[in-house]
Amino acid sequence: MSEGLSFGTLVVGADRDIEDGAPLAPDLVLASVYHLTGDPRPGVAGYGRMDNAGWTDLERLLGRLDGGEAVVFASGMAACVAALQPFLAPGDTLLLPSDGYYGVRRVAEDILQPWGVHVRLVPTPELADGDVAGVRLLWLETPSNPGLDCVDIAALAERAHAVGAKVVVDNTTPTALGQAPLALGADIVVAADTKALAGHSDALLGHVTCRSADDAAQVRQWRTLTGGIPGALTTYLVHRGLLTLDVRLERMCASAAAIARYLHGHPRVEGVRYPGLEEDPAHALAARQMRQYGFLVGMMFEEARAARAFLDRARLVKEATSFGGVHTTAEQRSRWGGDDVPPRFVRLSVGIEPVQDLLSDIERALR
C-alpha cells in the first residue's frame, strides 16, 4: 500500500494529482484507429488492439493495488492463459491445484498437455508438503474456488523459487483488497475481475499483474498478438465497479461472517467452510495472509435433496453461477461437472443486501 494510504482511498484514486477541467470519472475512449504520423512510438496510440486510454487508466489503478504492472484482458480466462502459455514451453512441468477453478485445469489438460507441457495436479491442502522439484510454473489459488481451502503463498513461493519456478496466484476470490500475493512473494497475480472486483454481474474482464517489467512486457505482447482485449465500454464498467469495491467488500465480508457463524452447527447443515470461522481448517493460515476472509461460504448438506430444497425455497438467495456480485447467489457447483464436489455442496456468494434479511431468508429456506 503506497504512502500509508488505505486501499479505500487508493481505489478511488483520491491521491492522484488532477488537472483543472479533467473528469473525475474513468476514461472511456471508443476508437479502433488513432491519428498516427510517421513511425509508431511508445505512448502514442495507433491501433485499438494495442492501446486504449481506458485500459491504461484501469491498469494504473490495478497495478497500484496489486503492487506491480497490470495488463487487462477480455475475461478472467484470457488473463489466466496469458499468465501460463508465455511462461511455459514443451517439456516444462506445470503444477496446479486439482481443486481450483476448473477452466484453468481444462486449459492445462486440453491445450498445454497436448502441446508438450507436463501437468501435475495436487489438492490445495496437500500443496504445502508437495514436491516442487522440476516444476517450471507453480499455479496457486487461495482460497480455492469452490472448496475454499487455503495455501501458504509465502512458504510455497520460497520453495518454488529455490528450484527456479515461477509462482502465479489466481487472486479472484479475495481480490486485490483482500490479499496481496506479490507482497507475499508471488511473481504474477491473475484475477477474474468479472467477479467481485467489477461486482455488478454485467461485465467480463480479467487482469494479470507482474512484479517484473519483463514479465509484464511478455504478457502485454501476448495480448497484442492473440487479441484477447477487453472492449472499451466493458473496461469502463469494470473501472466504475472497482471504485466501490472497498465498501461492497466491507458489507459482503461482514455478512458472510455472520451467515457462516449462523450456519455453523445448524442442524440442517452438515458442514460449513468459511476461512473466517475459527473452527475452519484454513482459518489460522487465512488470518496470517488475508486482509479479509471474503464473501464466499461453502455449505455441505447431508444429501443432495436437502441442497436442492434450500435453493428452491430461498427467495433472496438467487440460484446462479459465478460469484462476487451485489446480489446474493448460490449454486450446486457439481451441476457443471467440472469440480470435484458432490451435489450436496452449495457455494453461497453473499451480496450487499442487509444481513438480517439474508439471515431470515436462509433460516426460512432451511426450515
Ligand X SMILES: *Cc1c(COP(=O)(O)O)cnc(C)c1O
The Cα–Cα gap between 13 and 244 comes to 11
Nearest alpha carbon to residue 314 among 294, 332, 330? 330
What DSSP line would sit under 300-332, residue for residue? E-SSHHHHHHHHHH-SSSEE-SS--SSS-EEE-
Within residues 63-82, the interface with ligand X by CB under 6 A covers 75-77, 80
Of 63, 86, 130, 206, the one binding ligand X by CB under 6 A: 206
| In contact, 351 and 313? CB cutoff 8 Å | no
Cα 227 to Cα 75, 82, 219, 245, distances in angstroms: 12, 11, 12, 28
**Angle of helix 245-263 relative to helix 355-366, nearest 10 degrees?**
30
Please tell me whether residue 194 binds ligand X under the rule CB under 6 A.
Answer: yes
Decide whether 104 or 299 has the Cβ nearer to ligand X.
Answer: 104
Decide whether 87 or 101 has the Cβ nearer to ligand X.
Answer: 101
Q: Closest CB to ligand X belongs to which residue?
A: 76
Decide whether 170 or 280 has the Cβ nearer to ligand X.
Answer: 170
The nearest distance, CB 268 to ligand X, in angstroms, is: 27
Within residues 235-264, the interface with ligand X by CB under 6 A covers none
Decide whether 59 or 170 has the Cβ nearer to ligand X.
Answer: 170
Of 52, 124, 142, 172, the one binding ligand X by CB under 6 A: 172
Please tell me whether residue 55 binds ligand X under the rule CB under 6 A.
Answer: no
The nearest distance, CB 339 to ligand X, in angstroms, is: 11
Decide whether 97 or 276 has the Cβ nearer to ligand X.
Answer: 97
The Cα–Cα gap between 246 and 228 comes to 28
Please tell me whether residue 170 binds ligand X under the rule CB under 6 A.
Answer: yes
The nearest distance, CB 18 to ligand X, in angstroms, is: 31
β-partners of residue 170 are 141, 190
Decide whether 10 or 84 has the Cβ nearer to ligand X.
Answer: 84
The Cα–Cα gap between 196 and 172 comes to 8
Please tell me whether residue 58 binds ligand X under the rule CB under 6 A.
Answer: no
The Cα–Cα gap between 198 and 206 comes to 10
Please tell me whether residue 141 binds ligand X under the rule CB under 6 A.
Answer: yes
Decide whether 70 or 355 has the Cβ nearer to ligand X.
Answer: 70
Please tell me whether residue 124 binds ligand X under the rule CB under 6 A.
Answer: no
Decide whether 333 or 344 has the Cβ nearer to ligand X.
Answer: 333
Please tell me whether residue 192 binds ligand X under the rule CB under 6 A.
Answer: yes
Binding mask 77-116 for ligand X (x = CB under 6 A): x--x--------------------x-x-------------
The C-alpha cell 491521491 sits at: 15
| In contact, 78 and 60? CB cutoff 8 Å | no
The Cα–Cα gap between 323 and 201 comes to 9
| In contact, 105 and 121? CB cutoff 8 Å | yes
The Cα–Cα gap between 246 and 10 comes to 10
Please tell me whether residue 51 binds ligand X under the rule CB under 6 A.
Answer: no
The nearest distance, CB 284 to ligand X, in angstroms, is: 23
Please tell me whether residue 329 binds ligand X under the rule CB under 6 A.
Answer: no
What the block records as the C-alpha cell of 71 is 495488463
The Cα–Cα gap between 150 and 282 comes to 6
Decide whether 156 or 189 has the Cβ nearer to ligand X.
Answer: 189
Interface contacts to ligand X, rule CB under 6 A: 75-77, 80, 101, 103, 141, 145, 170, 172, 192, 194-195, 204, 206
